[in-house]
Amino acid sequence: MAENFTSPLIELRGVRRVYASAGETVAALDGIDLDLKQGEVVVMLLGPSGSGKTTLLNVLSAMDSPTQGTYRFLGEDVPTAPDAVETTRFALSMPHPLLQPLVWPVELVIRLVQGTVRAPGRTMASRRRAKALEAQASFRRRNIGYVFQQYNLLGDLTVLENVMLAQEIAGARDRSHAMDMIGRVGLEGLHDRFPSELSGGQQQRVAIARSLAKKAQLLLGDEPTGNLDSETTQQVMEVLLGICRKEQVTAVIVTHDESLTQHATRVLRLDSGRLQSDELGAAGTIVGKGKAAVKDALETAEDVVDTVRRPVEAAIHGGLATAKALTGVAKDIADAARPKRKE
């Protein structure tokens, strides 16, 4: 499938995410402006802890909401949820121990009045927040696939069942598509295995198939190869990004491995919650696109050969079986027609 980077998938404008910590405010994201188009593969190389990687992924997946700024997905505003409101409790200054019995009744009455006055407002705020959180969850189910550093597979489910579970949650159960994704990540014939029967690289491939089987438009990876050796890392990334390229899935991969930039169309670098640079990745160059096109063409040719070979082999095997059966029938007829020797 040809690349098409014309349709904007994600638009972030002036996004800030501020948290309160020990009476101070900390800006995990501080004025992020970012456009991602359909089919792009983005690798973010991040420095020290606190650079904003997890927060940015959480905002993109609608697991967190910007404090300021806008986030649009395919031209529409992404649902946001207000932070939970912390209520303050009224407390009188602690008097002399001998006077405490006189103060406690007064404080109790004040707290009861305070709770009665605030209860309706808290109830309405809680309902609005719950509704907003459900809207965010619905957005994630429809649009987002996530690959974690830990595989997060259910040990009592087979490979196929793990993949189809994600489809069921998204309301798009499709066994044939799940089997197709399992085959495309290189696990054909292993669909009935349990996670404990697979290697680490194979388990991560299952996680990739699971995230893509529900036909997500945005794939997020939080150091998905962090637990793998260098050789397996390259294999998994080639599988992951190859499928994303063919399916026009936009991928945002967080990693500290500089070598993975060879797979990226763009390389983003964050530090202190700010976007420090936005560079063209190796896969986004003319040479990179040419290599990807050749590789896709070869894989397509292999798929065509397999598509033709399988029915031909089936026909040959069927013909051989038929010929064998006919030979047996002819032999039986010949034996029946042969005159029997008189005793």
The letter for the amino acid at 307 is T
Q: Over the chain, what is the mean pLDDT?
A: 81
Question: Of all helices (H) and strands (E), which one includes residue 84?
Answer: none
Q: What is the pLDDT of residue 101?
A: 65
Q: How far apart are CA 104 and CA 116, in angstroms?
A: 18
Q: Which residues pair with 43 in a beta bridge?
A: 253, 267
Strands 24-37 and 8-21 come out as antiparallel
Binned at pLDDT 50, 70 and 90, residue 2 comes out as: very low
**pLDDT, tens digit, for every residue of 231-275?**
888 888 888 888 888 888 999 998 888 888 888 889 999 999 999
Query: What does the DSSP 8-state code read for residue 263?
Result: G
**Structure-block tokens of residue 205:** 């491939």
pLDDT of the residue at 1: 43
SS3 state of residue 125: helix
Q: pLDDT tens, 184-225?
A: 899 999 999 999 999 999 999 999 999 999 889 999 998 888
Segment 65-118, tens digit of pLDDT: 999 999 999 999 999 988 765 555 555 555 556 556 666 666 666 766 666 766
Give the residues across from 251 on adjacent strands: 41, 219
